[in-house]
Amino acid sequence: MSDDRQANVTVGAKTFCEAGEQPSHLFRVMPGVPFEHAYEQVSVLLGYIKHLVREGDMEDDHKLLGAADYLSAFAKAIMDDIELARNRRH
């Protein structure tokens, strides 16, 4: 892989979904995912989040809103990891 292509991948530093009394992160963004693929996944997640929030609000369903919260943390971790990778290039 060329240096330019290596610079356009996730670094795998961002975590999400804390658990336990002494919070530890259950999940981490995987390193080496091309930005294009990561952005595609964020786009899909944001669509699901929007749907869950809309339905959760209309139905007053806290399970749907909770699922949206988890997916939001996942999407944020991906975007933060991409941003971290971009900043490391400069």
Model pLDDT for residues 14-49, shown as the tens digit of each residue: 999 877 777 788 899 999 999 999 999 999 999 999
Cα 11–14–20 angle (5° rounding)? 145
Which residue has better confidence, 51 or 24? 51
Q: Retrieve residue 73's tokens.
A: 């943390």
State how far the alpha carbon of 56 is from the alpha carbons of 44, 53, 59, 65, 87, in Å: 18, 5, 5, 5, 36
pLDDT attached to residue 1:
47
Please determine, for residue 7, whether its predicted confidence score (pLDDT) is greater than 80.
Answer: no
Instruction: Say how many CA atoms lie within 13 Å of 51 toward its Cβ.
Output: 7
Mean pLDDT, rounded, of the chain: 91
pLDDT above 90 as % of the chain = 77
The predicted structure's pLDDT at residue 5: 55
CA 14 to chain centre: 9
